[in-house]
Structure 1
Amino acid sequence: MAHDHGLDEEKAREVPIWRESTRFTHRERLVMEYAEAMSLTPPAVTDELSDELLAELGAPALLELAAKVGYLNATARSNIALGIHSDGFADACGLAPLATRGETRVTSPA
């Protein structure tokens, strides 16, 4: 998807290690922290994180982020409950494996 939309594929591959990667901006890190906190059971979004994102993104973008994360969580949970699994497209696309925790890459900040 990153390739099809002209995005930085190497950066996209480092999403699983966003905390350790040097490729992400402060704003991108806040968004990923929010998405991760919102996806926990129970959700763990703090007032401080929400306030920082509100100041960084503005109310319309924060609302859109919350709606998108909520929607994706609902669809993922529904798929799991219904026994719907991956079709394995990633196995056939020819891309290098995603970065994993414990793997360190030396890169320049985006």
Structure 2
Amino acid sequence: MPRIAPVTPQDAGPLVRAGYWYAGRRFGEVPEPFAVVANHRKLFTVSARHEMAVQKASTVLPPNVRDIAVYRVACTVGCSWCVDFGAMMQRLEGLDVDRLQHIEDYATSPLYNDDERAAIAYADSMTETPTTATDEQVADLERRFGRDGVVELTYQIGLENMRSRMNSALGIHDQGFNSGDACRVPWGTVDREGKKT
């Protein structure tokens, strides 16, 4: 159970209920972080718009590079929810999720290519406090992905740091998305009007 109770559909306004309906249709279940952020309606709205806009705009990097860097951040920070959800997203994109078990050995594992290794190392550098990213590292990433690719990678890693740290601080844990049997948030599935189904 998270440290801040999720907002139930019965206690939510029409906009939040519509967001729950959309998220439930898209992911099979309402993501718990979504329901916890709903305690602050304005941030809920901004966050939902931001997530959709970032997803739509992030088209420069190959999905395997972007997603493995984001996944690494979730592992490093220790956000079980983000690890679970990130593995599901990779599975839905047709990426090899079995190799995620070997991410600690990314530097030498044949399961990761050189671009992925560079992205993971950069994710590690950005996630350290203070950050340890170097000029050489960014120059190497620019050669691999272009300037827009480096900006996209940096943005995605920074955003995942925010998500993972926020979820961890609020006590939000894995929901079972990667298993395909997502645990329901306390109220179950809801329809467009916010009625329990």
Give the alignment's TM-score, normalised by structure 2: 0.42
Task: Name stretches of at least 5 consecutive residues in structure 2 with no aligned partner.
Answer: 1-87, 181-197
- Picking from 16, 41, 62, the partner of 2:129 is 41
Q: State yes or no: 1:76 paired with 2:179.
A: no
Give the greater-gyration-radius structure (CA): 2
Q: State yes or no: 1:30 paired with 2:83.
A: no
Q: Deviations over 1:43-95 (max 9, x none)?
A: 110111011111111000100000000000011111222222223x17x829x
Which residue in 2 is equivalent to 1:100?
A: none
Q: CA deviation at 1:35?
A: 0.7
Runs of 4+ off more than 3 Å: none
Q: State yes or no: 1:93 paired with 2:161.
A: no
Percent identity, please. Answer: 32
SS in 2 for 1:42: coil
Q: Deviations over 1:17-36 (max 9, x none)?
A: 21231121111110110011
Q: State yes or no: 1:58 paired with 2:146.
A: yes
- Picking from 79, 102, 121, the partner of 1:14 is 102
Distance 1:63 1:74 in 2: 17
Aligned residue type for 2:112: F
Q: CA deviation at 1:6?
A: 1.6
Task: Name stretches of at least 5 consecutive residues in structure 1 with no aligned partner.
Answer: 95-110
- Using CA pairs under 8 Å that are at least 6 residues apart, name the structure with larger relative contact order, 1 or 2: 1
Aligned residue type for 1:62: V
Distance 1:68 1:32 in 2: 12
Aligned residue type for 2:158: G
Equivalences, count: 92
Q: CA deviation at 1:15?
A: 2.2
Which residue in 1 is equivalent to 2:91?
A: 3
Aligned residue type for 1:27: D
